[in-house]
Chain A
Amino acid sequence: MAAAAAFREGIRRVNHAPVVVAGMFAVTLLVSLPLAYALETMIADHLGSSLAAESLATGTNYDWWQEFSAQATGLGTTFLATISGFAAVLNNLSGFLDHAPLAATIIGVTAAWMVLWSFLSGGVIDRFARARRTRSHGFFGACGMHFWRLLRLAAIAWIVYAILFQFVHRWILSDTYSWLTRDLTAERTGFAVRLAGYAIFGALLIACNIVFDYARIRIVVEDRRSAIAAVLAGARFVRRHAAGVLGLYGLNAVAFLVLLVVYALVAPGAPRSGVSMWAALVLGELYIVGRHYLKLLFYASETAFFQGALAHAAYTAAPVPVWPDSPAAEMIANADRTVTS
């Protein structure tokens, strides 16, 4: 299957699974809401009965913001002027690429969300691989069945990513970048060097990311137990289908950039009051839904691409004869039915 076809197939599969999109969005929302509530309490406590709340309720109040930041701890330290509108997106992307330190509270919730997402990703990929409804018991059954395998894979991935960010990132974007730009006097040239650094680091990151993506898919689709073997199998698959894999990744990346551009154009700034406040919230959440959609599109299109590249059914690991069968086993069963009918 060509990359474009896999991408289209991915869109089709995600479009046919709106509950999955909604469910994953709900998970992110539910993880975030308690923290938002905690922050709401912090802000309300700090404002107390102050008139500053009025200006803050209808617009912005940078003076108050600075005062709040000066005494903020934990979660409060993340409440910066850059959290609203498109600045929030830039802030997060830049922080990610530049390996900016995160507040401890945020690290905690991010880790928890990733574990939760890993748990659910088994069901999600299973759902997309089967390309049919699996119902909640099927979905969560797959989640449970694959969770520990995916968690082991996540542990391997964490080690690789930690090396990348702790050592390679510093080596490329700090040490080498500083060395290359040490005597540069033109910022433009410095920026070009920085972009090259991002490109090299990004390529490494994406290479690892692709391998782990297909390892994840192979764990689910082929009912693999071994995370290490899945990584090796993922790597083999990527090597053998490099053009298609990269093409598909590129299409997904372009889709992501399109979403960013659209949001940059329509993103509201700091929310006002009344209807405009709710409109800003709705717009923001629509963007978040879009991010979920694209994240799931990655899964779905890569799964479709992998399945499209399967040589024959025997290629899969032996399915365990317990319900739910792996998508590969189901595929075999379906194939049998096709033959007998």
Chain B
Amino acid sequence: MFGRSTALVALLIASGAAINVAPQAPSSAAAVTAPAVAPRSPRNASYAITARLDPASRTISGNEIVTWRNTSNIAADALRFHLYYNAWRNTASTWMRERRLSGRAPEKEYEPSDWGWIDVTNIRVIGVDGSAGDLTSQLRFIAPDDGNTADRTVAEVPLTRAIGPGETVNVQIAWSAHVPRTFARTGAVGNFFFIAQWFPKIGVLENSGWNCHQFHVSTEFFADFGIYDVRLTVPRGWIVGATGVERDRRDEADGTTTHHYYQEDVHDFAWTTSPDLVERRATFEHPSLPRADLRLLLQKEHVGQAERHFEAARAALKYYGEWFGPYPYGHLTIVDPAWQSAADGMEYPTLITAGTSWLQPSHTEDPEDVTVHEAGHQFWYGIVATNEFENAWMDEGINTFATARVMQERFAPTYTLKRYFGGFIPYRLLDFPRTRERDGDRLGNYRTGAKGDAQSTPSWQYWPGTAGSITYDKTALWLHTLERMLGWDVLQRILSTYFMRFQFKHPKPQDFFDVAGEVSGRDLTWFFDQVYRSSNVFDYGVETLRSETDSVEGFVDKSPPGTTPRVELKQVLYRTQVVVRRYGEGIFPVDVRVVFENKEEVRWHWDGRDRWKMFEVEKPVRAAFAQVDPDRVLLLDVRYTNNSFTLEPQSARAARKWSLAWLIWLQDHLLTYGFFV
């Protein structure tokens, strides 16, 4: 087993210096080996990185020492690394191929400088005796997911000696990278750089082997926790924001400045730099939650929106903290990315990107929604570190649900916003307030991709065109459904139990389902079978409603032989029949409700299994309307219009009203095109 002694650190430094890359390895990697607080996480993948950015050529030259401990129960005879930047090396990468598959057109035509890549120039394993075994020549690219030989996003290097369970290895890697024009929210535009997924990053060794997926277009990342001790050299005067806190900075003789950032118990490191960022600071304080320093790096043209960003971040830390668990890091950096940087709305440990526009009316989606969402990812992704390659819904879906809840608690009402004239001019549709359940167009988006994939399919295997709706929208909708089934108190306890139990770990879907069953005290297997393990679509509806005076045609024995004729009742009885149907494949127990003209109502509970079912009742009053799932528990029902049936339909009135509104639109349209005549 390799030790982590001070002597080894010295050896690492010495061996790092031997690699011919600039700058040198950290002058002091002591921070990596002397954590400031008791470990919250396994810290089995720690990095000491030095990197230099040359903005003119958009290149990064880097040098890192990875200290990796095998936490699995199998030995590792090879190491696997992510080289994410190679996803944009050329159009043959898996990422680019999947993007074409999704039907998404390239955002722009690529110029030679737009492409990004990362080349490992040297890799060596540092032995316990300080010897350095150079493995550079043995590095090879593998494609464990799709066998794409042109893909270079995963590299494997065999070890001369296997690393057994519990053992630690130190690997020194030198690399150079070209920063792309932004792809997948990492890259540069103008002099704004947002640098993420930028360094050789070790995969996750599980008991079943390496979990080190290629970079896919519709999924994100997965990594082990560790300590990041990073020195970033950029032109002097440029503002830097990064994961962690800045410990010190040093002006170099060549007109650059090295910024030293440090963070424990995280599983990634991202940073931004630009000479044009404006810095603002604030704090989050709460009677029962840890204090957090908020640092906002925003664009000059958005300075007036600084407080909106802070308020959103505070709201996220408050409500997520109260509902799920405390935010432990004590600081959060919010980056307001540059226009056209395409880096908005992304999460990294203790660092997020928000996103807004120069003209952004209040009470609209951004920047509040995106800030809450990305800050919320500190909990669902950052702390509960699920595998985004395989179970993207576990962070994105849960976080989308929680974001909508915070938005309702803190920022309601918000309105649908449309943008005109090249997207610059905003217009709020005040007649269309956003609702928590709908949260924009969740159901609308889900409806279009509902059958795309079962959610249990590994996320990287989702059809790229509908991956988003299955990951974000479907999960948010079924969590809302679960909330309506169980009540918020129960769901909140489920989520907080799950959070506290699996913070700084890598839970799997079954862990969540087990907690849900345990806390709710109910067997929810059927529910997760429907929403998670299948791509079934839910669609219940009322087929017919009849409410007529009870009359029987044919022959009736009014007075059976031997009985006294009964006195005929004068009361008129209405026989009400309602037929409900299950149009979709999804099965969900629902209520059926009939409301009568005197406001009286009758409810039945239907297990929702049969294709149709008829309910009957006799009342001295006529029915007014019938509903299936009247409380709209099942938010995944893709056609709610057919869930009700009234005997006095208003469709003609509604249709007339809206067609007259549309008439004015059409006339205006004709007159607009009347410009030509």
Contacts and interface: CB of A to CB of B under 8 A. Distances in A.
A41 B654 CA distance: 11
Interface in A38-95: 39-44, 46-54, 56-57, 59-60, 62-64, 66-70, 78-79, 81-94
A50 B642 contact: yes
A210 to B, nearest CB: 12
Given A47-B641, A66-B447, A185-B341, A281 B658 contact: no
B340 interface: yes
Contacts of B447: 66-67, 70
Interface string B646-668: 11011111111111111111111
Nearest to A269: B431
B358 A94 contact: no
Contact of A161 (B656, B670, B676): B676
B539 to A, nearest CB: 11
A86 B418 CA distance: 12
Contacts of A46: 641
Nearest to B625: A51
Interface residues of B, number: 77
Contact of A187 (B358, B421, B664): B358
- Chain A, interface SS category: helix
A117 B658 contact: no
B192 interface: yes
A229 interface: no
Contacts of B640: 52, 63-64, 67
Interface stretch (B25-33, B128-136, B438-446, B480-488): B438-446
Contacts of B444: 66-67, 69-70
A67 B639 contact: yes
B672 A93 contact: yes
Interface string B402-433: 00000000000000101011101101011110
Interface residues of A, number: 95
A46 B190 CA distance: 50
Nearest to A283: B664
Contact of A97 (B358, B421, B438): B421
Contacts of A85: 431
Given A64-B641, A87-B418, A185-B341, A43 B654 contact: yes
B645 interface: yes
A186 B656 contact: no
Given A66-B447, A270-B431, A185 B191 contact: yes
Contact of A98 (B422, B658, B665): B422
Contact of A185 (B299, B625, B644, B670): B299
A57 B650 CA distance: 7
A1 interface: no
A255 to B, nearest CB: 14
B293 interface: no
Contacts of A226: none
Interface in A82-137: 82-94, 96-98, 106, 109-110, 113-114, 117-118, 121
B339 interface: yes
Given A51-B646, A81-B418, A178-B108, 5 more contacts: A54-B646, A57-B650, A59-B431, A67-B447, A114-B674
22 contacts: A43-B659, A44-B652, A44-B655, A47-B641, A47-B651, A48-B642, A50-B644, A50-B646, A57-B654, A63-B640, A64-B641, A70-B448, A78-B662, A87-B427, A88-B668, A94-B421, A184-B339, A185-B338, A185-B341, A270-B431, A271-B657, A287-B668
Interface of B: 108, 189-192, 274, 276, 299-301, 338-341, 357-358, 416, 418, 420-422, 424-425, 427, 429-432, 435, 438, 441, 443-444, 447-448, 545, 625, 627, 638-647, 649-677
Q: Please give me the 10 A-B residue pairs with the lowest Cβ-Cβ distance, nearest first.
A: A94-B420, A185-B338, A40-B659, A47-B651, A284-B664, A270-B431, A51-B644, A44-B655, A43-B655, A66-B444
